[in-house]
Amino acid sequence: MSSTSPFSLSSRLTSRRGAWVSIGLALLAIVALFGLFSGAEAPIGNDAVPSTAESAQVQALLAEFPGSNEQAVIAVVTKEGGQSLSNEDLTAITNLVPAISAETGHDVRAPFFSDDGKAALIQSPFTMGESTGDTAQSIKDLRAAISDESLPGLSAQVTGGPAFGADITSAFDGADITLLLVTIGIVALLLILTYRSPVLWLIPLTVVAVSDQIAGKFTSAVGTALELQFDTGIISVLVFGAGTNYALLLISRYREQLLITENHREALAIAWRKTAPAVLASNATVVLALLTLVFAVIPGTRGLGIASALGLLVALAAVLLVLPPILAVCGRGVFWPFVPRPGQNKEYGKVWGAVAQKVVRRPVVSAVAGFTLLAVMAAGLIGTTVGLTQVEKFRVESESAAGLTTLSEHFPAGEAQPMFIVTRSDQATDVTASAEDVPGVVRVNAIGEATIDGTDWTKLMVTGKPAPGTEDSLQLVAELRTVVHEVSGADAQVGGAVAVDVDARAGAERDLLLIAPLILLVSFIVLMLLLRSLLAPVVLLAINLVSAVAAIGAGSWLSRVLFDQPSLDLQVPILSFLFLVALGIDYTIFLVHRAKHEAISHGTKQGMARAVASTGGVITSAGIVLAAVFAALGVLPLVTLGQLGLIVGLGVIVDTLVVRTIIVPAMFSLLGDRIWWPGKSPEAARPAGAGGAEDKLDAELNRLVEADSSAARGR
């Protein structure tokens, strides 16, 4: 007799008629959603600082000046081989001025020549395009015009703010498609290896892929409506990774149930009811953790939190509401050629059962070994710095980065990205004098005036010696702000690209210190509600925190040693912490939810061992899939995303193989029933006479685990 009510949601999704109805409704919903959001485009914009930052306020004032859509591009010309420029070279370089002027449509000043006589610099105003694509095309045309000129033995590189933006845009041409294809390829390969079926892998992959496309359109529409900024690539990775994880958990439990249940629809309904709470809890944890980012001040971080949360809700709905009816229609044969049937002697959980028994028999040794490994990994934080220069942010070669390097070898590196001061015009002279006295300032020039709301303002351009993004350049901004703020009545403020970098670092630090505790608080509340315990969430979160720190430490060390990346980018620490803690809690929920169920019949210690035996395979598969999907971010051209993929991927693998397999079981064994404090242990709280058809699987798993444990002891 079925233990599943015919009126339950699981039955409606899996019954003969209900499955077809559910599939029909799902198809209608998919068509409607694609139709509704067909025209949605991802919102543009990538503000690095909040609107309240000083650099943002300066930018807002500069937008009111004549020619506010103009920036400077720089052509740096050197002789191949590093030789000094000859008179013929100087003539050829000077002849570049009309060509550059014709292409940019602005008057271009005569070239500056370096003191060492080995380089020349031509600076020109440049009108920004209406879109990043238009600007990129204009830079491409400018470079083509320069290359068409006769420059025998000379090398010309175009750099400056517009050129950097153009190179980033060009580097991302086709990158989103590449990321999608790589992600699909990785997930497909790992699903084939996991299921060992030429058919089954197609079903969850198709469901998750469709949910990813819907999530992309949905988040784009919401992002545009709410004026959010976010990286669509990260959202796609999250949807694929989390959606595949949910599907793995459901299908794994379905396969288990098929070993003891003749009716595949009943087996699927039971599997759905057994896994849905864990999937819902893990999804809620990640979604709520992502929503804490609404308190971030960095626009891209705040937007990513909201959009990613929406994307994961779409993935959740797809796996819990669309995947089950499809599996129900396909039947047991979808597992071909290894079709699970009642009575088969499956070696389910053999390896993981053996590992679990060894851990619970020697929990102290296991815990010490696990925490020692995490401590070694965390040691990678020693020497870690945060903040990349403009040149260091590119994973691929770019002319703008190479040009800035060349410029800094022969000129004050600050020529490429000057700072700007906006001051009341009647105090401009005093502000100029104060700025010129700051060590590291090469020159200060007044380059524009404007009347804004009845007040006259002057725009000053400040050229510094330090290269943009270096510690010296950041310190120069701080010193400039100090001195110009002291000029009475000037209301002077310092902006520009380097000042944006200063404000972005301050915002990223503020976000990390605020968001990290909120993420831990959300995770604690979800675990407390799920486990009905106070001690277990504290222990599990402490383990997760140590694991996250270890992954960030090891990832930053590998970035320095293997990829010659001297620092982590600004957003990497907070996003890495978010994903490592939230996704790590995912696997904790999968494991501990099963352990609590097993503990009802077998006690806390053996309940955890049985949970590791039964979930070890699926958690490992899910972890490998998620790690590989995050690693796919490495195909994108920015160091930021590559570092994020490396750290999160490494952390997920460690979580899967070390934390969930060794450390958590060891701590549960050491604490025993006290882990459920202040509640009773699940075994003590079990109602008299509890049991039923669904416990057949428990009996089968118990036999397999105990048999394997005896074999392990015999060996």
Over the chain, what is the mean pLDDT? Answer: 86
Binned at pLDDT 50, 70 and 90, residue 394 comes out as confident
The per-residue pLDDT for 540 is: 93
Tell me the average pLDDT across 67-93.
88
> Side chain identity at 185, as an amino acid letter?
G
Q: Can you give the residue ranges of every domain in the chain?
A: 10-37+174-388+503-683, 70-171
The per-residue pLDDT for 627 is: 87
On whether the CB atoms of residues 154 and 93 are closer than 8 A, the answer is yes
> Which run of H or E residues covers position 451?
strand 441-452
Closest of 214, 207, 196 to residue 246, by C-alpha: 207
Is 403's pLDDT higher than 80? yes
Tokens of 711: 């074999």
The per-residue pLDDT for 431 is: 95
The per-residue pLDDT for 711 is: 44
Closest of 151, 136, 144, 140 to residue 96, by C-alpha: 151
The per-residue pLDDT for 400 is: 87
The per-residue pLDDT for 45 is: 67
Phi, psi of 608 (to 5 degrees): -65, -40
Binned at pLDDT 50, 70 and 90, residue 346 comes out as low
Is 698's pLDDT higher than 70? no
pLDDT in tens, 291-328: 999 999 999 889 989 999 999 999 999 999 999 999 99
Tokens of 356: 């679990």
DSSP-assigned states of every residue in 581-627: HHHHHHHHHHHHHHHHHHHHHHHHHHHHHHHHHHHHHHHHHHHHHHH
pLDDT in tens, 412-434: 877 777 899 999 999 999 999 99
The per-residue pLDDT for 600 is: 86
Is 252's pLDDT higher than 50? yes
The Cβ-side half-sphere exposure at 180, using a 13 Å CA radius, reads: 12
Is 694's pLDDT higher than 50? no
The per-residue pLDDT for 685 is: 61
Binned at pLDDT 50, 70 and 90, residue 1 comes out as very low
The per-residue pLDDT for 506 is: 93
The per-residue pLDDT for 2 is: 44
Is 708's pLDDT higher than 50? no
Tell me the average pLDDT across 278-286.
87
On whether the CB atoms of residues 495 and 55 are closer than 8 A, the answer is yes
The per-residue pLDDT for 518 is: 92
Is 709's pLDDT higher than 50? no
Q: Does domain 70-171 have CATH number 3.40.50.720?
A: no
Tell me the average pLDDT across 350-373.
91
Binned at pLDDT 50, 70 and 90, residue 687 comes out as low
Fold identical between 10-37+174-388+503-683 and 70-171?
no
575 Cβ contact partners less than 8 Å away, ≥ 6 residues apart? 234, 301, 304, 644
Tell me the average pLDDT across 563-576.
90
Question: Which of 286-295, 409-418, 433-442, 694-703 shows the lowest per-residue confidence on average (mean pLDDT)?
Answer: 694-703
The per-residue pLDDT for 349 is: 57
User: Measured between alpha carbons, how far is 628 from 214 in angstroms, rounded to an integer?
Assistant: 22
pLDDT in tens, 503-516: 999 999 999 999 99
Binned at pLDDT 50, 70 and 90, residue 207 comes out as very high
Binned at pLDDT 50, 70 and 90, residue 72 comes out as confident
pLDDT in tens, 590-601: 888 888 888 888
Binned at pLDDT 50, 70 and 90, residue 122 comes out as very high
User: Measured between alpha carbons, how far is 307 from 552 in angstroms, rounded to an integer?
Assistant: 24
Tell me the average pLDDT across 60-71.
86
Binned at pLDDT 50, 70 and 90, residue 369 comes out as very high
The per-residue pLDDT for 3 is: 46
The per-residue pLDDT for 502 is: 94
Is 692's pLDDT higher than 60? no
Question: Which of 174-188, 505-519, 597-611, 693-707 shows the lowest per-residue confidence on average (mean pLDDT)?
Answer: 693-707
Is 699's pLDDT higher than 90? no
Is 368's pLDDT higher than 50? yes
Binned at pLDDT 50, 70 and 90, residue 534 comes out as very high
On whether the CB atoms of residues 465 and 474 are closer than 8 A, the answer is no
The per-residue pLDDT for 658 is: 92
Beta bridge partners of 455: 452
Tell me the average pLDDT across 398-410.
86
Please tell me the pTM assigned to this model: 0.82
The per-residue pLDDT for 120 is: 92
Give the 3-state secondary structure of residue 638: strand
Q: 10-37+174-388+503-683: which CATH number, 3.40.30.10, 3.30.1180.10, 1.10.3480.10, 1.20.1640.10?
A: 1.20.1640.10
User: Measured between alpha carbons, how far is 428 from 420 in angstroms, rounded to an integer?
Assistant: 13
The per-residue pLDDT for 710 is: 47
> Side chain identity at 90, as an amino acid letter?
L
Binned at pLDDT 50, 70 and 90, residue 572 comes out as very high
Tell me the average pLDDT across 473-496.
95
